Amino acid sequence: MPFMNITHLHLLMNHVPTVGTVIGVGLFLLALVRRNEHLKHASLEVFFLIALATLPVYLTGVAAQQALQGRPDVSAAAIAAHHDAALLAFILMMITGFVAWLALWQFRRHGRSAGWTTGAILLLAVLTLAVVAPAANIGGEIRHPEIKLDADAIAPAGVWISAAAVQDLVTTRPWVWPAAETLHFIGLSLLFGVLFAVNLRLLGGLRGVSFASLHRMLPWGMLGFGVNLITGMLFFIAAPEQYTNNAPFLWKIICLMVAGVDLLYLTVFDKIWALEPGDEAAMLDKAIAATAIVAWVGVIYWGRMLPFLGNAF
């Protein structure tokens, strides 16, 4: 027997983006004031991990919206307003996570990050905070009328983006879905090719190559991931009912979380960075690399099996 449902998962996780961003911004500002590079590095890691964790928060939120559809005791308009605000917050959070990752990658390669990333992250993180906090607040009002200052008003999302507009974009133009599917497969190849090779190096393949020189290719894997995140979200927002009640999709996201943590490990860890041509990775690093490859294969497997094991398409 399952001990909880997806909506419950949303309630468990939904404070992570807001609280996490507050902590991230706080650490980042403290690092700038104290001119402490270690602290800055740590705050970048926080931003990356919070962005990673925000993906299931958004996805489970849409699942909760699906589950609550048609219930007379819940305002659909309030949920829609929460969704729109959350969508913008999600997009900003993802961009912040990407830039934070890029800064971490530069840190590893050059011992410091490029100047522009500091400004960009500060701006993006503050913007994210400005959007995610109200989004969370509107979300709270759905089930907690006691926190509302005006009992009758439904808080407007106050953002220029809406899930309905994205849904409209994908569903009214018959070429968008196939085009996005095609890009999703191209992104898959690029992403898998790079991350398979880097993890394979730790397992003992491509041993004549230093880890540092393979590390150079990681942004290309991230490019593939970015393409797949965008196209994947188009599918999800356009037809959420195909995914929110679909066990393979849940497994796909779990595998993606594992692979995401591995990406951070590949990007920043000292011990593997030092592997010169011919060097063998330690047993623990091999185990992590093997887990990551299994996770990426899992992402492909559960993704491709969506229509067969679940109810997508």
Partner 1 sequence: MMDFLGWLEGTGFSIWVREAPTIWAFSTILTLHTFGMGVLVGASALLDLRLLGIGRTMPLGPLESLYRIMWAGFWLNLVTGTMLFAADATSRGTQWLFFVKLLFVGLGVATMILIRRQVYGAKTEPVAVNGATRGLAVASLGAWVAAIISGRLLAYVN
Interface with partner 1 (CB under 8 A): 178, 181-182, 185-186, 188-194, 196-197, 205-210, 212-214, 216-217, 220, 277, 297, 300-301, 304-305, 307-309
CB of 176 to partner 1, least distance (A): 11
- Cβ closest to partner 1, residue 13 vs residue 217: 217
- Cβ closest to partner 1, residue 156 vs residue 307: 307
CB of 122 to partner 1, least distance (A): 29
- Cβ closest to partner 1, residue 207 vs residue 286: 207
CB of 184 to partner 1, least distance (A): 8
Burial-class residue 140 by CB neighbours within 10 Å (0-12, 13-18, 19+). middle
* Sequence-ordered alpha helix ranges (H) in 113-210: 115-143, 163-172, 176-203
- Cβ closest to partner 1, residue 132 vs residue 214: 214
CB of 258 to partner 1, least distance (A): 17
CB of 310 to partner 1, least distance (A): 11
CB of 75 to partner 1, least distance (A): 38
278's torsion region: left (phi>0), alpha (psi -120 to 50) or beta? Answer: left
Cα distances (Å, whole numbers) of residue 49 to 21, 35, 77, 102, 246:
10, 23, 31, 13, 25
CB of 206 to partner 1, least distance (A): 6
Q: Which residues, at least 6 apart from 49, have a Cβ–Cβ distance to it below 8 Å?
A: 20, 261, 264
CB of 190 to partner 1, least distance (A): 6
Q: Which residues, at least 6 apart from 225, have a Cβ–Cβ distance to it below 8 Å?
A: 187, 191
- Cβ closest to partner 1, residue 22 vs residue 190: 190
The answer to whether 41 touches 108, Cβ cutoff 8 Å, is no
- Cβ closest to partner 1, residue 25 vs residue 214: 214
Q: Measuring CA to CA, which residue among 234, 226, 223 is closest to residue 178?
A: 234
Rounded to whole angstroms, the Cα distance separating 301 from 84 reads 31
- Cβ closest to partner 1, residue 59 vs residue 195: 195
Rounded to whole angstroms, the Cα distance separating 300 from 279 reads 30
- Cβ closest to partner 1, residue 217 vs residue 253: 217
Q: Measuring CA to CA, which residue among 112, 134, 151, 104 is closest to residue 17?
A: 134
**What is the chain's length?**
313
